[in-house]
Amino acid sequence: MEIKNIPLNELDVEPINLLKKMLQIRKFEEKIEELFLVKGTLIGPAHLYLGQEAIAVGICSALKKDDYVITSYRCHGHAIAKGVNIKKLMAEMFGKETGTCKGLGGSMHAAISPEDGLIYATAIVGSQIPIAAGLALSNKYLNRKIATVCFFGDGAVNTGAFHEGMNLASLWKLPVLYVCENNLYAEFTHITRSLSSKSIAERAASYNMKVFIVDGNDVISVYKVAKDCIEEIRNLNGPIFIEARTYRMKGHGVYDQAKYRDPNEVNEWLQRDPIKIFKEKLIKEKLLDEEGYKKLEREVINEVEDAVRFAEESKVLEFNELEKLVYFEK
């Protein structure tokens, strides 16, 4: 089933909150890009979420704090949407002890924060898919009304882990919501050059589970479909699969200029910027004006600047602390 153009009045959450969350991700990621490319403060891999904000925000706004999220290395957006402290997230980018993972994970694992329901973020494409099945198994076994959401990209659907994980989740009827963010590129390769199935949704359907296709640049549609799915998952039914169709505004990693993309394709998608679409909708409905938007934007920028300052001022973990973190010791 395909879901798009859901009207604003179907939202049962404050629309400004959704906009704010999306803006937080946008401004966070723009700052990260600047810190890498302009200031050179940050190094290492980082995979920006720019352009996909409506998906993380739409899905996570339908979750409770103790619901589980497991994701990939393109994880900053999910962390923010799930409610992680932005200062801690930024400090992780800087490798500081005040980071979500004490600076040992970095950008690719920054979305590990169990206290926020952010269970795990992996840097190996597709590996989270069977792990998500296991999380769902624990909830089903312990009869906990906790939903598990697993985010991954279109590249993950061609891994063995995807096949094995999807098959198991369906076979055991595990309460997990799989959210594939199809941004059309697996690293630098267009989906038409990597996917043999007609679509990701079609492949998912072959595992005998409910499948939805949603306009991933429309936060209302994403929220709406997530809300229904998560209700089912929380009642320990599932699995359910959502293919959210979207576009990566930037390259695969922060250094990738993505020149392999057709400029027309890029321009077309930039017109469909999820924040722009939602903002215009809110203005049209008189729920927001240009001034209100600017104010919100400034607020968010300040928050990100504070986070950078916090990260810069934080310390790096003592090296001799590392050996205590390899194994759990009673």
Q: Give the dihedral sign, CA 197/199/200/201.
A: negative
Query: Alpha-carbon distance 48 to 36, whole Å?
Result: 11
**Minimum distance, C-beta of residue 6 to another protein, in the bound complex (Å):** 32
Binding mask 103-142 for another protein (x = CB under 8 A): xxx---x--xxx----xx-x-x--x-xxxxxxxxxxx-xx
Amino acid at 183: N
Amino acid at 155: G
Residue 240 in the binding site for another protein (CB under 8 A): no
- One of 8, 43, 171, 270 touching another protein (CB under 8 A): 171
Nearer of residues 101 and 244 to another protein, judged by Cβ: 101
Amino acid at 87: K
Amino acid at 210: K
Residue 58 in the binding site for another protein (CB under 8 A): no
- One of 23, 75, 168, 240 touching another protein (CB under 8 A): 168
Of 172, 244, 157, give the one whose Cα is nearest residue 204: 157
Residue 99 in the binding site for another protein (CB under 8 A): yes
If one counts every other C-beta atom within 10 angstroms of the C-beta of residue 201, the result is 20
# of chain residues touching another protein (CB under 8 A): 46
Nearer of residues 17 and 206 to another protein, judged by Cβ: 206
Nearer of residues 139 and 221 to another protein, judged by Cβ: 139
Binding mask 70-89 for another protein (x = CB under 8 A): x-------------------
- One of 61, 71, 100, 182 touching another protein (CB under 8 A): 100
Nearer of residues 134 and 292 to another protein, judged by Cβ: 134
**Minimum distance, C-beta of residue 105 to another protein, in the bound complex (Å):** 5
Candidates 56-64, 76-84, 96-104, 288-296: pick the segment binding another protein (CB under 8 A): 96-104
Query: Alpha-carbon distance 196 to 219, whole Å?
Result: 29
Place of tokens 């990621």: 29
Nearer of residues 126 and 251 to another protein, judged by Cβ: 126
Residues that bind another protein (CB under 8 A): 68, 70, 99-105, 109, 112-114, 119-120, 122, 124, 127, 129-139, 141-142, 160-161, 164-165, 167-168, 171-172, 322, 324-328, 330
